[in-house]
Amino acid sequence: MARGRSTPSSLLETAKNRLLYCHARLTSARVDTLTKNPPETGDLAARTLNRGSKPHAIVIGSGFGGLAAAIRLGYRGYRVTVLEKLDAPGGRAYVHEIDGFKFDAGPTIITAPFLLEELWQMCGRSFNDEIDLRPMDPFYRIRFDDGSTFDTNGDAAAMRAQVERFSPGDVAGYDRFIKASEEIFKVGFVELGHVPFTNWQDMARIVPKMVALRSYRSVYSMVSQYIKDERLRVAISFHPLLIGGNPLTVTSIYALISYLERHWGVHSAIGGTGAIVNGLVDLIQGQGSAVRLNAEVAEITVDNGKATGVKLADGERIAADIVVSNADVAWTYKHLLPGIERKHWTDRKLDKAQYSNGLFVWYFGTKRRYEDVKHHTILLGPRYKGLLQDIFKRKVLADDFSLYLHRPTATDPSLAPEGCDTFYVLAPVPHLDADVDWAERAEPYRKAIADYLSRTVLPDLEDQLAASMVTTPKDFEQRLLSVKGAGFSLEPVLMQSAWFRPHNKSEEVEHLYMVGAGTHPGAGVPGVISTARVLDTVVPDASVFE
């Protein structure tokens, strides 16, 4: 988008008009009756799964969405093969190990743990017995550029006190915001999170509520309705950045995150997020299914409009009754379906789509511990709106930055050698549409971040380094096969959400299904696990293929 062409307010007005038009069209249109009933899910626990020859499902990719999909499919009678390009499972939740330091590559925050507990229950096991999940307090320490801090947690009285410390006049407004966040949560998470949105009926049912919630507003715009202090507006509106959204433009449906965190808390696992990944793999293997590593899928094979299996990069072909792609959804359509004439997700449409920001992540270990640093810290730079415009609209790499600093050894010292700390620091940056040569810019950018951390929360950092590595949007493109090197696939703006997002049941090929950040309901650990829950509605039971 050209500089100066659109403003956040004009984008919101456009989204509002399109949503209202959609509402009018839906409520006046004749809704056709489905010609086929959706597959029953029923009491799956009572079904017999020890059949002689189970139908085969292939899952491409072993991120949280793919692993959750494999477990749910195995529970419903499929024999599942998960195919992973890398040498270890996890996808974006891969684990790097360097000289005794363990680094979670991507997700570090666990909310809505019931979604994980459900997967263990499906396998007749107990999540709490196998995974040591620790609640965080604070959820995050937010450090403003002037050095002041704001700690967030799930205690209503403590949060009011934090708000009052910054702006006594905003306490009542903050309470009203949390109430509004709860109302959005009831619709956006409880009602929308597991709806397949494969047809207009799904959208027709929910659009009136979206209009009533004024979901055409941005998260920042919604927060500003209740909060007047600019620092608090930033502290309460930053959450969309955790799922690849610009708080200035992403739909206010994502304001539900504030209530979701208060309701279930923020957690981290002992052993890191990788411990959860390994636990999911163990569940899959316990079902009699398999996870194959170093198995890159080059093509989804199709016959008469139906997915029939996959072809690997080494030429091996594997047949399947259904295929589920946890690969980046844009990559799946652009590269894994050669020769298929796509009517919905054409290259032109995918090229014009809005993609989430890129990520610059520096993983480092230190020879000493920094006991004053919390498990999760948000370090805000001197600009908020201007930096977001640089990242999402102008596509330039700014000299300043805002950072997420992860110190898991605050909770689990075993992730580093004795007396040491494990860290990663993440900076949102433009995706690869930006004119940035990361081969040249990565080290100067890392050094600038190191200098900033040394001046603020990690004194003498460069002299304390014991391990170090960086990843850039180029790594996301080449290693994780993410279109434009986007950290979270398609950006969750209003017109790329719900029915407007790529469907979990492919619109292009029968027996092909999608999970992961690029499909509904979206990115984040709860989001991608929920994409697998949607499969219960759109994927037929295994008995259909017997």
Is the distance from CB of 544 to CB of 76 less than 8 angstroms? no
**Largest separation between any pair of C-alpha atoms in the chain:** 69
- pLDDT score of 207: 62
Question: Containing domain of residue 291, as a range?
Answer: 55-135+269-353+489-540
Sign of CA dihedral 503, 504, 509, 510: negative
Cα–Cα distance measured from residue 32 to residue 204, given in angstroms and rounded to the nearest whole number: 12
- Residue indicated by tokens 């003498």: 460
> pLDDT tens, 167-226?
999 999 999 999 999 998 888 787 666 767 676 566 666 666 666 767 778 899 999 999
Helices 114-122 and 64-75 pack at an angle, to 10 degrees, of 40
Structure tokens at 475: 């790594």
Q: Which of 242, 266, 290 marks a domain boundary?
A: 266
Name the domain boundary from 250, 266, 282.
266
Residue of 50, 45, 47, 71 whose CA lies nearest to 59: 71
Residue 252 lies inside a defined structural domain of this protein: yes
For 274-320, the pLDDT digits (tens) are: 999 999 999 999 999 999 999 999 999 999 999 999 999 999 999 99
Cβ-in-10-Å burial (0-12, 13-18, 19+) of 421 comes to: buried
86 inside domain: yes
Residues 522, 59: contact at Cβ < 8 Å? no
CATH code of residue 322: 3.50.50.60
| 31 in a structural domain | no
Domain match, 474 and 366 both: yes
- Say whether both 97 and 165 belong to one domain: no
One digit per residue, pLDDT tens: the chain, 546 residues?
A: 333 344 444 444 444 444 443 433 333 333 332 223 333 333 333 233 333 489 999 999 999 999 999 999 999 999 999 999 999 999 999 999 999 999 999 999 999 999 999 999 999 999 999 999 999 999 999 999 999 999 999 999 999 999 999 999 999 999 999 999 999 888 878 766 676 767 656 666 666 666 676 777 889 999 999 999 999 999 999 999 988 999 999 888 888 889 999 999 999 999 999 999 999 999 999 999 999 999 999 999 999 999 999 999 999 999 999 999 999 999 999 999 998 999 999 999 999 999 999 999 999 999 999 999 999 999 999 999 999 999 999 999 999 999 999 999 999 999 999 999 999 999 999 999 999 999 999 999 999 999 999 999 999 999 999 999 999 999 999 999 999 999 999 998 877 877 788 999 999 999 999 999 999 898 899 999 999 999 999 999 998 887
Instruction: Decide: helix, strand or coil at residue 131.
Output: coil
Residues 495 and 412 in one domain: no
Query: Quick check: is 19 in a domain?
Result: no
Q: How far apart are CA 330 and CA 508, in angstroms?
A: 13
362 lies in the same domain as 341: no
In a domain, 45, yes or no: no
Looking at residue 32, what DSSP letter applies? P
Q: Are residues 82 and 190 in the same domain?
A: no
Tell me, what's the pLDDT at 532?
Answer: 96
- 521 and 458 both lie in a single domain: no
What does the block give as tokens for 260? Answer: 């979701």
Q: Are residues 262 and 277 in the same domain?
A: no
CA 516 – CA 326 distance, rounded (Å): 5
| Nearest residue to 283 via CA among 527, 68, 524, 536 | 68
Among the listed residues 482, 388, 363, 469, the one whose alpha carbon sits nearest the alpha carbon of residue 432: 482
pLDDT at 213: 67
Instruction: Say if 9 falls within a structural domain.
Output: no
Does residue 138 have a cis bond before it (omega within 30 degrees)? yes
Q: How far apart are the C-alpha atoms of 131 and 117, rounded to whole Å?
A: 10
Number of domains in the chain: 3
The per-residue pLDDT for 21 is 39
Out of 266, 300, 327, a domain closes at: 266
* Predicted pLDDT at 202: 65
Same domain, yes or no, for 318 and 421? Answer: no
Distance between CA atoms of 535 and 44, rounded to whole angstroms? 14
d(CA 516, CA 488): 9
* Cα 127 to Cα 138: distance, rounded to the nearest angstrom: 24
In a domain, residue 148? The reply is no
Question: One-letter amino acid identity for 372?
Answer: D
What residue has token string 């009602």?
A: 191
* Same-domain pairing of 113 and 128: yes
8 Å CB contact between 189 and 114: no
CATH number at residue 386: 3.30.519
Torsion from C-alpha of 122, 126, 131, 134, nearest 10 degrees:
110
279 and 248 co-located in one domain: no
Helices (H), 336-472: 347-352, 385-389, 438-456, 461-464
Whole-number pLDDT of residue 25: 39
Do 370 and 473 lie in one domain? The reply is yes
Same domain, yes or no, for 308 and 455?
no
Q: How many Å apart are CA 330 and CA 295, to the nearest integer?
A: 20
Tell me, yes or no, whether 506 lies in a domain.
Answer: yes
Q: What's phi and psi for 33, nearest 5 deg?
A: -80, 140
Q: How far apart are CA 217 and CA 13, in angstroms?
A: 8
